[in-house]
A and B are shown apart, each in its own frame.
Chain A
Amino acid sequence: MTAHSLAAPPHVSPGNARLIGITLAALLAWLAVYWQLEPLSHWAVAALPLAPGSHLADAVGFFIFDTPKVLMLLALVVFAMGVVRSFFSPERTRAFLAGRREGIGNIAAATLGIFTPFCSCSAVPLFVGFVSAGVPLGVTFSFLIAAPLINEVALGLLFALVGWKVALTYLAFGMSVSILAGWIIGRLHLESWLEQWVRDVRGGATDLPPEQMTIADRILAGVEATREIFGRVWVWIIVGIAAGALIHGYVPAGMLAVVMGGGQWWSVPAAVLIGIPIYSNAAGIIPVVEALLGKGAALGTVLAFMMAVTALSAPEMVILRKVLTARLIGVFIATVTVGIIAVGYLFNALFT
């Protein structure tokens, strides 16, 4: 950077303007490519030596069409969310939640859980930092449940792939479970079930100077998020699309409607029990959701399955075991499971 641009105010510096220009050009290029995807993939499938209408052709077609589409959408959604997330920080979220009453606090915590950036290696400092600063335990849990449950990338992908109704349902579903489960855990007054050292920590608020971020800084935050999340998630997406392609091509529609349809009382708990031991990234499960819904599975059952996969994972439990006693982890898993099943029934009842 030259001395001239350093001296200029940040918002009008040439470097800033150039970066905004490049970003706009990149977005236009993205749109141009995206519009050409469907004809291109049709052409690619037709060129393959497959019998049209066969199971294999259906599966391969789903895979060839969905892979570039989902990966492109993922890049765009992650970039946008990276920019949005630069407006939030765990420190600010904590200051906002400290001393909130339960109820309102649970709702605020679940909402902030969607947007506040934090990686799983930060889960323990985050938990301890919240509790020690006077955020009620139930409110902390609402945040902790919402953060993985309502994945903003999954939300964006659902919106683009399956439609806004399903995306909004997913959002409402996840919020309900986070608020309800956190509220119940708060009502049970389980503070004494935290590990001893967590109860002893006395942390104060930070006096960090507020970060000065220009538009360019926020764009760079979006680019950084894309680089980091995309690099981590693309394998999950490919596996998810392959699973979705198999379902799309080979599973008979009638069978899924019977097993995962709204008619059977046991389909929701069964979907949740199957989902708990499976662990996938939230973004990777979306192509599976797309395929299941396409085959006539009920919305509440599919979302319950998706949430059981993303919300309750063994790696997260191992991390949380450092701050929670085994008993409290048991309550956590039980509450979230019951919450997911309850909301699954509710949505099946609402959407049939």
Chain B
Amino acid sequence: MKNVKVLGPGCNRCTATAALLQGTADRLGVAVAIEKITDYAAIAGYGVVSTPGIVIDGKLVHAGGLPKSDDVARWLAA
């Protein structure tokens, strides 16, 4: 089970990012637990300046804007 955190205050892009992660995980058959982090202090604690950010198993892999679907597949498969 991969622990995935989406960092963002809840804007449209953050929701879209979470949906993209869930959809890709389902397609690849990877079990994920997606958690949305909306607290600004927690977001800043990861060093993220631009949202949405993505943290997978405690490691920051992306910050700012919708991620590319190829990248999402790569992070989830790793």
Contacts and interface: CB of A to CB of B under 8 A. Distances in A.
Contacts of B60: 206-208
B9 A125 contact: yes
Contact of A203 (B45, B62, B63): B45
B41 interface: yes
A129 B48 contact: yes
A94 B7 CA distance: 18
Interface stretch (A116-124, A156-164, A343-351): A116-124
B44 A201 contact: yes
B47 A205 contact: yes
Interface of A: 89-91, 93-94, 117-119, 121-122, 124-126, 128-130, 132-133, 197, 200-208, 322-323
Contacts of B62: 208
B64 A128 contact: no
B50 A132 contact: no
A121 B61 contact: no
12 contacts: A90-B49, A122-B50, A122-B51, A125-B9, A125-B51, A126-B50, A129-B44, A129-B47, A130-B49, A132-B44, A206-B47, A206-B60
A74 to B, nearest CB: 21
A298 B14 CA distance: 44
Contact of B47 (A197, A204, A323): A204
Interface in B1-20: 7-9, 11, 13
Interface string B44-74: 1111111100000000111111000000000
B43 interface: yes
Contact of B64 (A90, A132, A202, A204): A90
A91 B64 contact: yes
